[in-house]
Structure 1
Amino acid sequence: MSATPVDSGTWVRRFHPSPDAGTRLVCFPHAGGSASYYFPVSAAMSPSIEVLALQYPGRQDRRTDPLIESLPELADQIFTALRPFADRPLTFFGHSMGATLAFEVATRFEQVGAPVSGLFVSGRRAPSTHRTETVHLRSDDGIVSELHQLNGTDSGVLGDEELLRMVLPAIRGDYKAIETYRYEPGPPLTCPVHAMVGDADPKATLDEVRAWRDHTTGPFEFEALPGGHFYLNQYQKEIVNRISDHIACAAQPESFPSTRTGR
Structure 2
Amino acid sequence: MSTATPSATVRVARPRIEGDWFFVPAPQAHRPFRLFCFPHAGGDATAYTPLARAIAPAAEVWALRPPARGGRSRHPMPADFTALAADVTAAITPHLADGGGRFGFYGQSFGALLAYEVARSLPADLRPELVVVAGAPCPAEWADRESKDLDPAELLRTTGLEELVQADPDLVELALSGIRTDLAVSATFRHRPHAPIGSALYAVAGAEDPMLATTDLGGWAAYTRGPFGHRVLPGGHLLATVDQPGPVDLLTSLLAPSQGPATPARDTKEQPSW
Q: The TM-score by the shorter chain falls in which range?
A: 0.7 to 0.9
CA distance in structure 2 between the aligned counterparts of 1:232 and 1:217, rounded to whole angstroms: 27
> Could you tell me how far apart the structure 2 residues matched to 1:256 and 1:248 are?
14
Amino acid of the structure 2 residue aligned with 1:44: A
Structure 2 gap ranges (5+): 1-16, 270-274
2:66 is aligned with 1:56: yes
- Residues in 1 aligned to 2:226 and 2:190: alpha-carbon distance in whole angstroms: 23
Taking a change above 3 Å as real, the CA distance of residues 143 and 236 of structure 1, as seen in their structure-2 partners, is closer
Paired residue secondary structure (2:256): helix
Question: What pairs up with 1:101-180 in 2 under 5 angstroms?
Answer: 101-109=114-122, 111-134=123-146, 136=148, 142-148=151-157, 150-180=158-188
Alignment of 1:236-247 (within 5 A): 239-247=247-255
**Partner Cα distance (2:177, 2:201) in 1:** 32
The TM-score, its normalising length taken from structure 1, stands at 0.85
Deviations 1:49-74 (A, max 9, x none): 21101110111111121123422222
Residue 89 of structure 2 corresponds to residue 83 of structure 1: no
Cα distance, 1:234–1:209 mapped onto 2, change above 3 Å: farther
Indicate which of 108, 112, 135 corresponds to 1:99.
Answer: 112
- AA matched with 1:107: R
Matched with 2:11 is none
Instruction: Name the CA distance, whole Å, in 1 between partners of 2:242 and 2:49.
Output: 15
Per-residue Cα deviation, 1:55-97 (whole angstroms, up to 9, x for no partner): 1011111112112342222211111111122132221000000
Per the TM alignment, residue 184 of structure 1 is displaced from its structure 2 partner at its CA by: 1.2
TM-score by length of 2: 0.81
Aligned-residue offset at 1:135: 5.3
Q: How many residues align?
A: 250
Tell me: CA distance 1:48–1:231, structure 2 relative to 1, closer, same or farther (3 Å).
closer
Name 1:262's counterpart in structure 2: 268
Q: Cα RMSD (Å) of the superposition?
A: 2.6
Which residue does 2:49 correspond to in 1?
Answer: 39
Give me the identity figure in percent: 29
Residue range with higher mean Cα deviation, 121-130 or 153-162: 153-162
**SS state of the match for residue 85, structure 2?**
helix
| Match in the other structure for 1:70 | 80
Moved more, 51-60 or 38-47: 38-47
Mark the CA change 1:176 to 1:238 in structure 2 (over 3 Å): closer, same or farther: closer
When Rg is computed on C-alpha atoms for both structures, the one with the higher figure is 2
